[in-house]
Structure 1
Amino acid sequence: MREDLVPAKGNERRYALAIFLDSIGDGLFITGTTVFALRVVGLSPQQVGVALSAAGIAGFLGASTLGPVADRFGPRRVMMVLCLVDALALLSYTQAGSFAAFTVAACLASATGFGKGPASSALVSTITTAERRIRLRAQVRSLSNLGFTVGAAFAGLALAIDTMPAYYALPIGDAACVLLELLVIRGLPEIRAVVAATARRSFTALRNVPFLLTTALNAVLTLHTTLVNVVVPLWILGPMGAPAPLISGLLMVNTVLVVVFQVRLSRGSESLAGSIRLARWAAAVLVAGCVIAGLSKDIPLVPGVLLIAVSVVLLTVGEMVQSGAAWGLFYELAPKQAQGEYLAGLEMSLAAQSIVGPAFGTWLVLTFGLFGWTALGGLFLAAAVLIGPAAHWTSRRLARLYPPAVETEELPEAA
């Protein structure tokens, strides 16, 4: 258990601490975002979905454009700047008093939050070996979910207190955690790959059709993020009519399971073939979670709560397997000369599903109930079938764009 949770001493552990702090803040505000929007800002559930979809667009732009910036200036430096901007964005939620203001705050926070992703992924490649990077990502995700659980517990307390100061403490606490993250990242080394001038390319990812297709299919498979964080809470508050503290409780179940099992359920993703195989297994489990969630409506409260809890467990298992598959997929595909740019596919996938997921998922589920949940399951299955051919096509294309003969060297810089 300890070896699953604790990274190696030195830079790996320092990096994990930075992400752990960030995740405490995420637990605080992600858990309470929907309730904050409904009760503090006064939005409708449909407006929440639209605002978060707009934030997804901003996140996609941040993820897709800041990868080359990390390659050019170094991932540590880029992460530090984005942490500062992210903290300011989170504080802007406290000034949101309308749909427009909430949407602007959500877009700014999403652009910087997703924008940190490519730099963070590239930083993993620079502080550990290729053999350990998937394990480190899994360890960090376990620890980040432990941090998320801590944050979610405080968020649950704020929801139970049910006062305006308690709600405002959520984004303020998140901003404070991001600033602490910045201080820890400052102690990491800066390492950049220097590529021969004749081989230097920028923004090829946005013109790479097979890569974009692979990213889009992975985005469908990452819809579990929106289901757990947005659709299930709205389902609980709406059709189920269950109490709001149930939301934080289920999110804590989600994160505790990830803490315990993420490393083990990521095994087998060290190759492209293994990653594709895990993606298919993830889809099968996610389908079951969707169908069971749909069955929790129009039944007595206690059995409904039990069904939605089983659904969240299944969605969490699918989430862990799919996350390991996605890490292996994009680390295997990303060329060394453009780590930040192509590892941005991880964040582009999350941002892309955030564009469509909240509004589409909310509409589908709240309008059609069980049929809507089943349709979401069908999307998972279709993406799992297609992602293998798309990933192999991407691999062949990248081999032509970035031949392995290009020489690189690692240049460390003092923190």
Structure 2
Amino acid sequence: MTSRLIEDGPGRTLILGTLVNSLGNGAFLTCSALYFTRIVGFSPSRLGLGLTIAGIAGLFAGVPFGHLADRRGPRGTAAALLALAGLATSAYLTTASFPVFVVIAFLYALFERGAHAARQALIPAVLNADNLVRVRAKIRVVTNVGVSAGAGLGGLALLWDTGTAYRLTFLLNAVSFLGCGLLFLRLPAVPPAPRRTPGEPRLAVLRDTPYALLAVLNMVMLLHIPILEVILPLWIALRTGAPPALTAVLLLLNTLAVVGLQVPLTKKIEGLRSAVRAFRTAGVALLGCCAAFALSAGRGPVAATAALAVAAALHVYGEMVQSAGSWVIGYELAPADKQGQYQGLFNTGIAAVQMFGPVSLTLLLIDWGTPGWLVLGAVFLAGGLAMAPAVRWAEGRLAGARSAAATAA
């Protein structure tokens, strides 16, 4: 597996920077909730309210900071925003009151999501078409590895359960942001995009309806994220006879599958046609995943475990092919000189799903049960099938814009 992750030049730097940052993020995510409730003393409801307010910043940060990356150059913008996110993480250690916490959490979400948008603009700027999707696949693999390893470090802090141990994980996350930013500064310099032509809107992506549709469809498919993170443990405990420990086993298998299979699967997804097929395949796989979850309802330990294992396998396969397809579609259908703002919009779906997905899927799946799973499966299938006409529409719009630009030149 290690050999498959080796890259030369900019690809290696991107992968290494992502690994460093993911390590800190994994430790932070594992410990942050308990730090704020057990050490600082916030109630869970207040903590949830503060994080929801901060999530609004993450939801709207992508496009403007992506535009800033286009105008100022993605390398320096990404490095600066990563440094600011690291400083915001350090500022959490000074949190003593709820209003201060909300301000810091808001700034952390703003800088972290802004850095993500700038990073998405940096990736195609320093790579070529031949290795873009392959490196993205490897970035996803090392993200999983880093978060898992970081979670292990966070687990040590949970074991010690002291304020000092928790604070060390926050400092580790801060250093990981700074380290990632310094590594990105080793990448080739990327010139800013040309100035806007007279009459061209500042944020052109907000007027590109076909691309916005692509982003919405991708967001729909990203509803698979809360299934494992939020729904799986609740479903096992409340709706099946499977042992609760199965949650940990299925999460581990998901991580191992992504680490071992994401790169090989990506080799088959290179252009728009194969990316569209990937979304169609993901829709079918996730429909099957939802059906298997529905079949596990009310079953005993053996039958429920078997159904949930099938559901998890279909889930991770759909997740991997959808991710690879989204990288191709998101990059190829965005204007080359506006990758920052376009990637900012395309990846806003992640923030939206993380913010609204847990509540909406809990109501749909845990409260409604089997019918809810069938509805969600139909949504996945519809999203996967709708990507083909949406891509054709976006292709036509992009070709028309390029033709108009060539005529004007």
Alignment TM class, shorter chain as reference? 0.7 to 0.9
Residue aligning to 1:132: 131
Could you report, residue by residue, the CA deviation over 1:135-190 in whole angstroms, capped at 9, with x for unpaired residues?
11112212222212211222344445555555554444322221221221222222
C-alpha spacing 1:399/1:60, structure 2 compared with 1 (3 Å): farther
Is 1:277–2:277 an aligned residue pair?
yes
Residue aligning to 2:57: 58
Q: TM-score, normalised by structure 1?
A: 0.83
Structure 2: how far apart are the matches of 1:231 and 1:225?
Answer: 10
Of 137-146 and 298-307, more deviation after overlay is shown by 298-307
Structure 1: how far apart are the matches of 2:244 and 2:108?
Answer: 24
Which residues of structure 2 form unaligned runs of 5+? Answer: none
Of 220-229 and 68-77, more deviation after overlay is shown by 220-229
Residue aligning to 2:44: 43
Structure 2: how far apart are the matches of 1:3 and 1:257?
Answer: 17
Structure 2: how far apart are the matches of 1:276 and 1:289?
Answer: 20
C-alpha spacing 1:101/1:376, structure 2 compared with 1 (3 Å): farther
Could you report, residue by residue, the CA deviation over 1:187-220 in whole angstroms, capped at 9, with x for unpaired residues?
2222125437538753110122221111111101
Provide the alpha-carbon RMSD of the alignment: 3.5
Is 1:195–2:194 an aligned residue pair?
yes
Structure 1: how far apart are the matches of 2:193 and 2:276?
Answer: 31
Structure 1: how far apart are the matches of 2:357 and 2:119?
Answer: 24
Could you report, residue by residue, the CA deviation over 1:364-401 in whole angstroms, capped at 9, with x for unpaired residues?
23322333333322221121122221222122222233
Residue aligning to 2:14: 15
C-alpha spacing 1:348/1:204, structure 2 compared with 1 (3 Å): same
* Pairs aligned (count): 404
Residue aligning to 1:83: 82
Contact 2:242 2:300 in 1 (8 A): no
Of 358-367 and 189-198, more deviation after overlay is shown by 189-198
C-alpha spacing 1:197/1:115, structure 2 compared with 1 (3 Å): closer
Contact 2:117 2:340 in 1 (8 A): yes
Residue aligning to 1:339: 339
1:160-239 mapped onto 2 (5 Å cutoff)? 165-192=164-191, 194-195=193-194, 198=197, 202-233=202-233, 235=235
Higher alpha-carbon Rg: 2
Q: Report deviation, 1:277.
A: 0.9
1:294-333 mapped onto 2 (5 Å cutoff)? 294=294, 308=308, 310-333=310-333
Of 212-221 and 385-394, more deviation after overlay is shown by 385-394
Q: Report deviation, 1:226.
A: 2.6
Residue aligning to 1:362: 362
Contact 1:122 1:343 in 2 (8 A): yes
Identity of aligned residues (%): 34
Contact 1:365 1:372 in 2 (8 A): yes
Structure 2: how far apart are the matches of 1:28 and 1:3?
Answer: 26
Contact 1:30 1:229 in 2 (8 A): no
C-alpha spacing 1:183/1:305, structure 2 compared with 1 (3 Å): farther
Q: TM-score, normalised by structure 2?
A: 0.84
The DSSP-based 3-state class of the residue aligned with 1:202 is coil
Which residues of structure 1 form unaligned runs of 5+? Answer: 408-415
C-alpha spacing 1:182/1:302, structure 2 compared with 1 (3 Å): farther
